[in-house]
Amino acid sequence: MYDGIVQDLIDEFGRLPGIGPKSAQRITFHILQTPGFDVSRLSQLLGDIRDKVRFCEVCGNVSEQERCAICRDPRRNQTLICVVEDAKDVAAIERTREFRGLYHVLGGAISPIAGIGPDDLRIAQLMQRLADGTVQEVILATNPNLEGEATATYLSRLLHTIEIHVTRLASGLPVGGDLEYADEVTLGRAFEGRRSI
Amino acid sequence: MYDGIVQDLIDEFGRLPGIGPKSAQRITFHILQTPGFDVSRLSQLLGDIRDKVRFCEVCGNVSEQERCAICRDPRRNQTLICVVEDAKDVAAIERTREFRGLYHVLGGAISPIAGIGPDDLRIAQLMQRLADGTVQEVILATNPNLEGEATATYLSRLLHTIEIHVTRLASGLPVGGDLEYADEVTLGRAFEGRRSI
């Protein structure tokens, strides 16, 4: 619809997740028409991200160095590993400020439909990290959905063969939520996991 | 929350219209983790857009040349000018394939609240284009909202001083819409503008 670069940029933005053609057009015109928007900085960062950002060789989190800031931090509890599907989950857990141990990013979850099996995940690397006996507890923090549960079940069986304490994040009612609107499975889990007070 | 470039890129995407922190994170990780995504192309286009894209010196539409493709096209009806607020409106009208005349982009609408008066719009340039008597009709296609209507009223008064045929896009029920859900003003306009069939 537009000439050359404008349409090309709209098309490129439209390839990003969650951006439809209308949003892509709005973003492109914002960049074109807003003098205060630093387009060269965005361009530079996009040029750098694939070159400079890698994945931590220990835990698989995003990092600009061989080992990520969390793995390098000696104040983190070295006896505790929290296993997550994705680097985005690390950021979500860090925001809670509840967890001071280390992480292990699997890079996905077991999904027969998507053709992802245990060998496609960073499970061998996890077993290697547990070999020296420093780690005492592995917290399984995969998503509470079909794939995440399957992955947690698989890992739990595997980890019990090497005698390590394995835990799973609690399922239950979300804080601030309304009991009336909770789905049956979640409400069932909340009953199952009820605690004395 | 993340180290260096990853967080910087999330922040930059978050500055774009309609992209919140969650979407910005999702987009950044998509760029980082999708091998098929051509990040260098996006980076290059962003580097080019401000340098290579300008505004047509005749109509104010976006263009990579001094005059845009529409103004350069001799097959367009040179006696008809459609006045719009923004270059995005040109693209919207072109998609209808109903209009074969020329455009004039005002660069906004009169808005006392936003401090935009007639002198901030490309009105002098419009009057100049009308001076040689080629143009016989000016279609006012500013938005059917407060600012757009005020702009259309202002222009209509101004254009009547030079004896030119001035029209305004029809207001009425949107096609495919439901009468029951139309607002009073739109429904009122639909009555006002009713036609014999």
- Select the residue of A16, A25, A26 nearest B30 (Cβ to Cβ): A16
B20: which 2 tokens? 């919140």
The pairs formed by A102-108 with CB atoms below 8 angstroms and a separation of 24 or more are A102/A59, A102/A70, A102/A71, A102/A76, A102/A77, A102/A78, A103/A59, A103/A61, A103/A70, A104/A59, A104/A60, A104/A129, A105/A55, A105/A56, A105/A59, A105/A60, A105/A61, A106/A60, A106/A142, A106/A151, A107/A60
Residue B177 pLDDT greater than 80, yes or no: no
Chain A residues closer than 8 Å to B95 by CB: 1
Residue A140 burial (10 A CB sphere; 0-12, 13-18, 19+)? buried
- Are A111 and A85 within 8 A, CB to CB? no
- Closest residue by Cα to residue A108 from A99, A98, A117, A100: A117
User: Quick one: three-class SS letters along chain A?
Assistant: CCCHHHHHHHHHHHCCCCCCHHHHHHHHHHHHHCCCCCHHHHHHHHHHHHHHCEECCCCCCEECCCCCHHHHCCCCCCCEEEEECCHHHHHHHHHHCCCCCEEEECCCCCECCCCECHHHCCHHHHHHHHCCCCCCEEEECCCCCHHHHHHHHHHHHHHHCCCCEEEECCCCCCCCCCHHHCCHHHHHHHHHCCCCC
CA distance B86 to B101: 17
Distance from CA of A143 to the nearest CA of B (A): 16
Pick from A86-90, B2-6, B162-166: least confident: B2-6
| Range among A182-196, B114-128, B175-189 with highest mean pLDDT value | B114-128
CATH superfamily entry for domain A5-52? RecR Domain 1 (1.10.8.420)
- To test the contact with chain A by mutation, choose from B7, B45, B52, B88 the residue with the greatest count of A C-beta atoms within 10 A, namely B45
* Of A6, A18, A46, Cβ closest to residue B62: A6
- Which distant-in-sequence residues (6+ apart) come within 8 Å of A104 by Cβ? A59, A60, A81, A82, A83, A84, A122, A125, A126, A129
Chain A neighbors of B41, CB-CB under 8 A: 12
* The pLDDT of residue B117: 95
Q: Which residues of A2-32 are buried (b: 16+ CB within 10 A; e: fewer)?
A: bbbbbbbbbebbbbbeebeeebbbbbbbebb
pLDDT in the model for residue A131: 93
Burial class (CB in 10 A: 0-12, 13-18, 19+), A178: exposed
Asked whether the predicted pLDDT for residue A76 surpasses 90, the reply is: yes
For B139, the 3-state DSSP assignment is strand
What pLDDT, on a 0 to 100 scale, did the predictor assign at position B72?
Answer: 95
pLDDT digits (tens, 9 = 90+) for B59-116: 999 998 999 999 999 999 999 999 999 999 998 898 888 899 999 999 999 999 999 9
Alpha carbons A110 and A121: distance in angstroms, whole number: 8
Q: Of A6-20, A55-69, A163-177, where does mean pLDDT reach its minimum?
A: A163-177
Give the nearest partner residue to A26 out of B17, B63, B69, using CB atoms.
B17
What average pLDDT score do residues B176-182 get? 78
Give the rounded percent of residues in chain A with a pLDDT score beyond 70.
Answer: 100
Global pTM reads: 0.75
**Interchain CB distance below 8 Å, A45 and B5:** yes
Say if residue B155's pLDDT is above 90. yes
Q: pLDDT value at position A126?
A: 97
Residue A196 has pLDDT above 80, yes or no: no
Mean pLDDT score of chain B: 90
Choose the mutation target among A49, A55, A63, A95 for the interface with B, i.e. most B CBs under 10 Å: A49
Q: Which residues contact B111 (CB under 8 A, 6 or more apart)?
A: B147, B150
**SS3 per-residue string spanning B4-25:** HHHHHHHHHHHCCCCCCHHHHH
pLDDT number for residue A141? 92
CATH of segment(s) B74-166: 3.40.1360.10
How far from A174 is each of A91, A179, A193, B139, B159, CA to CA, in Å? 19, 9, 13, 56, 62
Summarize the confidence of residues A158-171 as an average pLDDT.
90
CA distance A184 to chain B (A): 28
- State the pLDDT at residue A178: 79
Query: Which residues in chain B are contacts of A68 at CB distance < 8 A?
Result: 3
Closest CA to B192 of B169, B174, B175, B170: B170
Tell me the mean pLDDT in the region A102-118: 94
d(CA B25, CA B56): 36
Query: Chain A contacts of B56, Cβ < 8 Å?
Result: none
| Cα gap A56→A64, rounded to integer Å | 8
Which whole number is the average pLDDT over A119-136? 95
Kindly list the domain boundaries of chain A, sorted by start residue: 5-52, 74-166
The pLDDT of residue A172 is 84
**Which element (helix H / strand E) includes B62?**
strand B62-63
Is-same-fold flag (B5-52; B74-166)?
Answer: no
CA distance B63 to A64: 39
A136 pLDDT band, cuts 50/70/90, is: very high
Region A19-36 average pLDDT: 90
Dist CA B72 CA B77 (whole Å): 12
